[in-house]
């Protein structure tokens, strides 16, 4: 999994007054959990754009006044009115200890059923994977080209070497569903077959 760096400052005051002052100047209060004790820090809101507004998932190198902490983003809160980032929780990565993290699913190709007019439904954009950080892939690649109308793939069909997928294997990952266009195509094929049959019967009588 790729790494990315952000810079922040350790917090010594963590009360409501201090938090409000940070947000007023467009800084985001954060906490890193999972180590010996929680680490409180803050950083300008722009520092987080590269990890928040993306579909990618990173292991993050947090530079706190020269001290580096490895972590990944666990939870994020937004202001319901302005949609600004209000708070972020991180999970610390401890050397030699497996982590559970959301990994993006990369759907490869266009299903045969979609080409025939079916609706391709991506039920999952991420799957939870457990493993050491050096074994975590950037994406879980899934070839969906063979899927026909009415067929689906389950989470248990995903092959992921070196990690364990935590989500229930029986749940649907993606599917190709019947659409109105597919029904029209099928009806048109039936009409063509019927027309050919009528034509052949007429030819036989002559």
Please write the tens of the pLDDT for every residue from 90-133. 999 988 899 999 999 999 999 999 999 999 999 999 999 999 99
Average pLDDT over all residues of the chain: 88
- 133 Cα distance to chain centroid: 17
**Residue 63: pLDDT above 90?**
yes
**Residue 155: pLDDT above 80?**
yes
Look up the domain containing 180 and give its range: 101-184
Res 178: pLDDT:
87
Q: What is the CATH number of the domain that holds 174?
A: 2.170.120.20
**Residue 193: pLDDT above 90?**
no
Res 90: pLDDT:
96
Res 16: pLDDT:
87
CA 5 → CA 42, 92, 186, distances in Å? Answer: 14, 14, 53
Q: What DSSP string runs through 70-137?
A: EEEEEEEEE-TTT--EEEEEEEEPPTT--EEEEEEEEEES--HHHHTTPEEEE--SEEEEEE-GGG--
Residues 128 and 152 in one domain: yes
Residues 16 and 90 in one domain: yes
Residues 88 and 122 in one domain: no
Please write the tens of the pLDDT for every residue from 31-54. 999 888 899 999 999 999 999 999
Which one of 62, 94, 126 terminates a domain? 94
Residues 29 and 54 in one domain: yes
Block residue for tokens 């020269």: 66
Residues 77 and 111 in one domain: no
Which one of 94, 116, 137 terminates a domain? 94
Question: What average pLDDT score do residues 61-75 get?
Answer: 94
Q: Is residue 203 part of a domain?
A: no
Residues 67 and 106 in one domain: no
Residues 9 and 87 in one domain: yes
Q: Is residue 53 part of a domain?
A: yes
Res 181: pLDDT:
61
Which of 33, 54, 150 is CA-nearest to residue 102?
54
Residues 90 and 110 in one domain: no
- Structural domain total, the chain: 2
- Bridge partners of 131, per DSSP, are 99
Q: What is the CATH number of the domain that holds 65?
A: 2.40.240.10
Measured distance CA(65)–CA(92) in Å, rounded: 17
Q: Which pair of tokens denotes residue 121?
A: 């439904």
């Amino acid at each position: 999994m790729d790494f990315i760096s952000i810079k922040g400052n350790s917090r010594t005051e963590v009360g409501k007054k201090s938090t409000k002052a940070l947000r007023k100047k467009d800084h985001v209060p954060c906490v890193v959990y999972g180590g010996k004790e929680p680490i409180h820090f803050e950083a300008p809101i722009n520092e987080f754009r590269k990890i928040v507004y993306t579909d990618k998932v990173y292991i993050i190198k947090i530079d706190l006044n020269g001290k580096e902490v490895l972590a990944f983003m666990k939870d994020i809160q937004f202001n319901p009115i302005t949609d600004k980032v209000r708070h972020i929780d991180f999970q610390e990565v401890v050397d030699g200890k497996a982590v559970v993290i959301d990994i993006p699913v990369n759907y490869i190709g266009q299903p045969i059923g979609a080409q025939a007019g079916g609706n391709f439904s991506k039920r999952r954009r991420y799957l939870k994977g457990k493993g050491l950080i050096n074994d975590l892939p950037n994406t879980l690649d899934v070839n969906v080209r063979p899927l026909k109308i009415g067929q689906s793939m389950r989470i248990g069909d995903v092959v992921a070497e070196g990690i364990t997928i935590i989500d229930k294997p029986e749940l649907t990952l993606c599917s190709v569903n019947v659409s109105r266009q597919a029904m029209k195509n099928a009806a048109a094929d039936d009409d063509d077959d019927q027309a050919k049959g009528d034509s052949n019967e007429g030819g036989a009588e002559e």
